[in-house]
Structure 1
């Protein structure tokens, strides 16, 4: 009996990373709704059951993709120097990666405490929001509310803009409008 030839698509020990990358690519290309473990397995060249050694289920794989998205979002937010810069960075990321952003927003917040890596990734962006919107003279609760107010405004605005509900002049007009809303308090 001759040995089976090695797969070109997957190297032993790298399946988790390769599957997460394949899932990320599939989400970016077509959204998370149609993502399946079978599609990911097909893309990396393994039987779909092998993925269960690395991900408990489809939701765990989606959490890994969302975690990567939150880490990516935090990068431009770190470069923001003021509220207008934060708004532009947040909205710019979401508009450039709409399928990834929708997946990120779909993760149930109530279960985040059970997913420490995902929770930590989400908090990267919240930390940047606190840096920009927090004030030392305010209480912790007041700063938390200021951040929540801004994020709710951005998420709601994005939902309406991506749904075609808002009458603004393209993405640039949308970003400028939300920057003005945030500046007005």
Structure 2
């Protein structure tokens, strides 16, 4: 260790030193942790421990825990939007959306926990949400349709999807399996008026 590092109290060989993109690594680690255990108790300290860095260093990349959760939600919305690009019909859209939400229950819970009213202050998250909405609009309503009608068509789809998924998760819907739920949601969205 150099004299300058000794005076500054820094050890260039300490175990928490790392190269790479700390922010991206933190988002990926938090994404995995939230997918596995949920976001409710996820902390910056846990993510830092997972990465082998000092937890205070994450504050260079995230203002607080909510900023980290917003970044994870952004990643989850982006991954869902990428999958939804494969949808050709509204039934395809419903199947892809429902499968993602059911396979990633904890992440879906995080995604739906982000308040839309505050998204104007979170442009990356807002853009990711809009990528999902754009895929819904592409499927639900023709581009030349009245904007109000397009918005209502997308809202109907999201209300139906989220409502069905929430009721199924709560054990309220009398369906024998996730596959049955996906079939029902696909049929409802394909035939909605």
Give the alignment's TM-score, normalised by structure 2: 0.90
SS at match of 1:81: coil
Determine the structure 1 residue equivalent to 2:8: none
- Shift in Å at residue 13 of structure 1? 4.7
Does residue 172 of structure 2 align to residue 170 of structure 1?
A: no
The count of corresponding residues between Structure 1 and Structure 2 is 184
Determine the structure 1 residue equivalent to 2:103: 96
Determine the structure 1 residue equivalent to 2:190: 183
- Shift in Å at residue 43 of structure 1? 0.9
Root-mean-square deviation (CA, aligned residues, Å) is 1.6
- Shift in Å at residue 169 of structure 1? 2.2
Aligned CA distance change for structure 1 residues 127 and 10 (closer, same or farther; 3 Å): farther
Q: Does structure 1 retain, via aligned residues, the 8 Å contact 2:119–2:125?
A: yes
Determine the structure 1 residue equivalent to 2:34: 27
- Shift in Å at residue 10 of structure 1? 5.8
Q: For the residues of structure 1 that align with 2:114 and 2:70, how far apart are their CA atoms?
A: 7
Determine the structure 2 residue equivalent to 1:142: 149
Structure 2 counterpart of 1:5, from 5, 13, 16: 13
Give the alignment's TM-score, normalised by structure 1: 0.93
Query: Which runs of 5 or more residues in structure 1 are unaligned?
Result: none
- Shift in Å at residue 16 of structure 1? 1.1
Query: Which runs of 5 or more residues in structure 2 are unaligned?
Result: 3-10
Aligned CA distance change for structure 1 residues 25 and 44 (closer, same or farther; 3 Å): same
Residue by residue, what CA displacement relative to the aligned partner does 1:115-162 show, whole Å, maximum 9, x if unpaired? 111111111111111111113553101110000111011001111111
